[in-house]
Structure 1
Amino acid sequence: MPLIRIKSLPFEGDVDISLVVCNLSQAVADATGIESHHIMVSWEYLLKGHYSHAGKVAEVQGINTHPLLVDLIAPNFNTEQQIMAMLELIANTISEHVPVAKKNIFINYTPAYSDGVYDEGHIVEWDM
């Protein structure tokens, strides 16, 4: 783990989302030393007109409007510095691969707790 879930409006032009999620997964693995089979990244498109920001809806993802919505779920044993580094890495990597300004990315971190994660067929425990 970590799990990174991204939501956005559809892009106006062609964006290879499969390439973006693979690049993001590899960037996290390289930066953290976490084996890639423990990293999960998903990207979902919101329906056109189903996302309001600043009281306005949009049909397509804007570069500077309607922030990308990103959830990072990672174990609570990560330090504050490690979490901040992951947040920056995610924002930098996404903004390098899609037509969205880095300042137009919203990321929320949620800690995952020992005994609070089911993965690979069992409840996961870690020592801190």
Structure 2
Amino acid sequence: MPLVRIKSLPFEQDVRIPQVISALSQAISDAANIEQHHIMVTWEYLVHSHYAHHGNIADIQPVDTHPLLIDLIAPNFNTEKQIASMLELIAHTVAEQVPIDKNNIFINFTPAYSDGVYDEGHIVEWDM
């Protein structure tokens, strides 16, 4: 059930976002042994001039400022080590796919709780 939401400014050069999110979904599936139909990845471009970093506004995605903003939502039964591995995997995979420095990626993890997720037509419950 991992959900990865990525936000960035538009890139100056052509970046094939569908291939990037597909590669990220596959990487998560392979590393965590999760079937792809349980993995969701989105990429959203921020509106022109709507992102300030260090007080500076940018119109296109710089390589080393205005970090990509990534939210990872995953079940709370993951260990700290598993979460750290997912964060590293996401950063590494994204940095390989787009013109961004790995040091310019910000990822926030939010735990999802049993009985706190609605998916596939019902409240999801997991045993720990």
**TM-score, normalized by the shorter chain, greater than 0.5:** yes
- Kindly state the Cα deviation for residue 127 of structure 1 after the two structures are TM-superposed: 0.8
Query: What is residue 6 of structure 1 aligned with on the other side?
Result: 6
- Equivalenced residues, count: 128
Query: What is residue 62 of structure 1 aligned with on the other side?
Result: 62
TM-score (norm 2): 1.00
Query: What is residue 20 of structure 1 aligned with on the other side?
Result: 20
Task: Summarize the alignment of residues 86-125 of structure 1 with structure 2, pairs less than 5 Å apart.
Answer: 86-125=86-125
Determine helix, strand or coil for the equivalent of 2:96.
helix
The gaps in structure 1 that reach 5 residues or longer are: none
- Kindly state the Cα deviation for residue 119 of structure 1 after the two structures are TM-superposed: 0.2
TM-score (norm 1): 1.00
Determine helix, strand or coil for the equivalent of 1:96.
helix
Aligned-partner Cα distance in 2 for 1:44–1:95: 16
Aligned-partner Cα distance in 1 for 2:82–2:41: 18
- Kindly state the Cα deviation for residue 14 of structure 1 after the two structures are TM-superposed: 0.1
- Kindly state the Cα deviation for residue 33 of structure 1 after the two structures are TM-superposed: 0.1
Provide, for residues 51-108 of structure 1, a one-character-per-residue CA deviation record: whole Å limited to 9, x for no partner: 0000000000000010000000000000000000000000000000000000000000
Match for 1:120: what amino acid?
E
Query: What is residue 52 of structure 2 aligned with on the other side?
Result: 52
- Kindly state the Cα deviation for residue 8 of structure 1 after the two structures are TM-superposed: 0.1
- Kindly state the Cα deviation for residue 35 of structure 1 after the two structures are TM-superposed: 0.4
Aligned-partner Cα distance in 2 for 1:47–1:126: 38
Give the percent of matched residue pairs that are identical in Structure 1 and Structure 2.
70
Determine helix, strand or coil for the equivalent of 2:27.
helix
The gaps in structure 2 that reach 5 residues or longer are: none
- Kindly state the Cα deviation for residue 46 of structure 1 after the two structures are TM-superposed: 0.1
Instruction: Please give the root-mean-square deviation of Cα atoms over the aligned residues, in Å.
Output: 0.3
Aligned-partner Cα distance in 2 for 1:42–1:34: 17
Match for 2:114: what amino acid?
S
Determine helix, strand or coil for the equivalent of 1:73.
strand
List, as ranges, runs of 4+ consecutive aligned residues in structure 1 with deviation greater than 2 Å: none
Match for 2:111: what amino acid?
P
